């Protein structure tokens, strides 16, 4: 069998089906003290403005439990601002260039935690999970909530590579 250790940074610390499935106890158990959220296919329909059911209530719940929470997204600023408003005006970093680590560190600084206490919750292995793992944050992968409608020519091969990787590493049931 071919060793694929070079891809180990694509393996998330935890898998969940949906953001709203993650409990405060789960967050404590993984050692998280602050939360950074991806937008597309994690909290909102890709490239649109509709937030998934239950997400604003989930954000309120984790804030009440004492977790600072913000958005860390590769999307553009105006869109991030609109999604932020729908989530109670939580802070955001747009155009984050995930998987680059610099904005993972900035998010940890903004929320006053060590990078090892920051959990990034997102749906993409090559941006969210790789970025979080390489920065030293906690990585949580949720199942993409929706098909991408915009730029499918970009996403189809990307999702295919994710699926191949997950199957090869025994996570075929997470696709």
Binding residues (CB under 5 A) for Mg ion: these are: 38, 40-41, 123-124
| Minimum separation from the CB atom of position 38 to Mg ion (A) | 4
- Say which DSSP state 14 is in: E
Which helix (DSSP H) or strand (DSSP E) does residue 36 occupy?
Answer: strand 34-37
Three-state SS string across 117-158, please? HEEEEECCHHHHHHHHHHHCCEEEEECCCCCCCCCHHHHHHH
Q: What is the dihedral of CA 110, 113, 114, 118, to 10 degrees?
A: -90
Q: Which residues pair with 75 in a beta bridge?
A: none
Query: DSSP states of 56-119 as a string?
Result: HHHHHHHHHTT--EEEE-SS-HHHHHHHHHHTTS--EE-S--TTSSHHHHHHHHHHT--GGGEE
| Minimum separation from the CB atom of position 37 to Mg ion (A) | 10
| Minimum separation from the CB atom of position 2 to Mg ion (A) | 28
| Minimum separation from the CB atom of position 91 to Mg ion (A) | 18
| Minimum separation from the CB atom of position 139 to Mg ion (A) | 13
């Amino acid at each position: 069998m071919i060793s694929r250790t070079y891809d180990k940074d694509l393996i998330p610390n935890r898998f969940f089906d949906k953001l709203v499935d993650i409990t405060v106890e789960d967050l404590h158990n993984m050692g998280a003290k602050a939360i950074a959220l991806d937008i597309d296919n994690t909290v909102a329909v890709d490239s649109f403005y509709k937030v998934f059911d239950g997400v604003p209530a989930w954000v309120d719940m984790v804030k009440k439990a004492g977790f600072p929470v913000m958005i860390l997204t590769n999307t553009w600023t105006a869109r991030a601002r609109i999604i932020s408003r729908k989530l109670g005006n939580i802070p955001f970093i747009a155009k984050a260039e995930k998987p680059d680590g610099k904005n993972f560190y900035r998010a940890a600084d903004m929320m006053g935690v060590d990078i090892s206490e920051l959990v990034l919750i997102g749906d993409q292995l090559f941006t969210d999970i790789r970025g979080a793992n390489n920065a030293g944050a906690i990585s949580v992968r949720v199942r993409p909530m929706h098909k991408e409608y915009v730029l499918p020519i970009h996403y189809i091969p990307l999702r295919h590579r994710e699926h191949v990787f997950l199957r090869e590493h025994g996570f075929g049931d997470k696709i």
